[in-house]
Amino acid sequence: MTNKDIFISYKNDGEGNNFAARLCEDLSGLGYSVYFNSHERRKGEFPERLKNAIKECSDLILVLSMGCINWLKENNDEDWVREEILYAKNNNKNIVLILIGSASIPSKNDMPVELKFLPDIDSYYLPEQYIDSPLKGLLSMLDSRPNTNSFYMNEANSNETYNVYEDFEKTLQEAENGLPKAMYIIANMYFYGFANADGTTNRDFAKAFYWFEKLAKIENEYKAYADSMLGRMYYDGTVPGDNQSYEKALKYHLNSAENSEKFGYSASRVAFMKQYARGCDFNFEEVEKYYLSFIEKGDDILKMNLGDFYANYGEFQKAADMYYSMENSNSDAEYKLGMLYKKGVLSEPIKPDYVQASYHFQNAISGEYPHADAANQLGLLYFAPTGRFRKDFKMAQHYFEIAAEMGNCSAQYMLGYMYEFGYVKQDIKLAIHYFTLAANQGDINSSHHLAMLYQQSECRDYHKAYKYAKISACNGIPEGEFVFANLLYMGRGCKADTYKAYEYYKRARAHGMEQAEFMIEKIKNI
């Protein structure tokens, strides 16, 4: 048997093995080495093959359905799941608990003696329809890493019908013979690292620039493209032997945009550079005129950019007209229309229209690619409504879940907040789950909540409390400074440090936390 890094343990109850099978497929697809057998009988004498698999793995993932938890409580001696858990613990493996469905970690009092350690292990909730963000959270809990020694790691030409090196040599010869299409292709091969003459696949900007520049100097159907790539290279500063230059970048992008009826990329780059005064001085009328001259050709990307330009400079009705004018249904345009109505900037005097805003937010999430920010905004509308909107925490949670599943940081924070304080139901484990997702994306408020929650008895972990309190405090959250000082002063999750605690109490007090005053007095009176 080939050794695997991850062992998936599950109860063969339909819910558990179906979820475990999908998890195995997804982890394997990411390059992880996984042991999972859906045909195990999972009863009778515990086999040596499972012991060996666990002994050789780094992580044991335990898929906990409600049925599995109830089974473990019954102390059944023939339960392979129990044997897998205990064998992993005795061999010091990293055990990761995955909660699915309605499962929640039981209290220690409900567990048999040998499994009372289980509730102390960090658990992670994965929804049935998890996508990227929840799975990334799980991966952070594993000791295992994707298999970087796989056959495919450095395999550069495994397609039997296409040999890139032979194609490179043939194309290079045609380019040297002056064929414009070949010059266009070989420049891209060098720029994107398809291949090089020495058989490597590193990007070669010097050779790419040589061929793009040569192509741009002759009249041919690829000239506009070559100019745009030269503009990009000057913008990024990748022209060998020359300095990064916005002025030169703008010149080449202008050449490309003005000499091509179909090449919208350079037109958008010119508009962007003019808008942000890169390589030129800023002039509102000139930027607007430039956008409009190309929008007549029906470019939706430029319409979106012009709408954003108008919105940034307070021309809100013009922005709305541009978003409305987009020929194709566009979730981002719908979202931005919703935000204009929510802010009330389309009326005089300013008056938010939440009903109209919700209409556009709904449009933004109804297509093939739902807009995460729009879903989050719908959640916020139902969470704290005004005007004709009614408060509905269940609807708020529904939309926050849609947005959070797509990785929206604000929605993840709001779900953590709702679960912490029981707006629909209180679930501290889920609160920690969503706050952790948001904190991993840099949300400071989530770090502060985690610092508080990890000091509570049902999920106490002072080390984690200290970690998240430090993040909160170092980012200037006054209450975070106070909580961090408390942990430092009392030596919770860290070595006690009175001097450092005193400094953070003073910071908290200076930032308006009056509660810090009595702790400052205590230290002064020692």
Q: Are 9 and 61 in contact (CB under 8 A)?
A: yes
- Of 223, 58, 75, which is closest to residue 143 (Cα–Cα)? 58
Confidence band of 143 (pLDDT split at 50, 70, 90): confident
Of 309, 315, 360, which Cα lies nearest the Cα of 335? Answer: 360
| Within a domain: 246 | no
pLDDT at 148 over 70: no
- Looking at residue 267, its pLDDT comes to 85
Give the pLDDT mean for 106-111.
85
Domain count of the chain? 3
Residue that finishes a domain, picked among 139, 169, 185? 139
Residues in CB range of 253: below 8 A, 6 or more apart: 227, 228, 231, 266, 269, 270, 273
- CATH number for the domain harbouring residue 60: 3.40.50.10140
Domain enclosing residue 337, as ranges: 329-442
Question: Is the per-residue pLDDT at 526 higher than 50?
Answer: yes
Q: What is the pLDDT of residue 365?
A: 95
Q: Both 412 and 480 in a single domain?
A: no
pLDDT digits (tens, 9 = 90+) for 160-193: 788 888 899 999 999 999 999 999 999 999 999 9
pLDDT at residue number 75: 65
Confidence of residue 1 (pLDDT cuts 50, 70, 90): very low
Residue 2 has pLDDT above 60, yes or no: no
The tens digit of pLDDT for each residue in 66-89 reads: 888 888 887 665 678 888 999 999
Dihedral sign of CA atoms 375, 379, 385, 390 in order: positive
Q: Determine, yes or no, domain membership for 178.
A: no
Kindly report the CATH number assigned to the domain that includes residue 500: 1.25.40
Span 473-521, pLDDT tens digits: 999 999 999 999 999 999 999 999 999 999 999 999 999 999 999 999 9
Taking residues 128-145, report their average pLDDT: 75
Chain segment 363-393, per-residue pLDDT in tens: 999 977 889 999 999 999 999 877 777 889 9
Strands in 259-358 per DSSP E: none
Is residue 268 within 8 Å of 307, Cβ to Cβ? Answer: no
Residue 164 lies in a domain: no
pTM check: above 0.75: no
Name the percent of the chain lying above pLDDT 70: 92
Cβ atoms of 316 and 330 within 8 Å: the answer is no
**pLDDT tens digits, one per residue of 223-254:** 999 999 999 999 999 999 999 999 999 999 99
- The DSSP call for residue 109 is G
Judge whether residue 39 has pLDDT over 70.
no
Asked if residue 404 and residue 436 are part of one domain, the reply reads yes
Buried b (16+ CB within 10 A) or exposed e, 53-88: bbebbebbbbbbbbbbbebbeeeeeebbbbbbbebb
| Contact by Cβ (8 Å): 472, 483 | yes
- 3-state SS, one letter per residue, for 344-371: CCCCCCCCCCHHHHHHHHHHHHCCCCCC
DSSP 12: S
Q: What does the alpha-carbon distance between residue 131 and residue 378 come to, in Å, rounded to a whole number?
A: 21
What is the CATH number for 375?
1.25.40.10
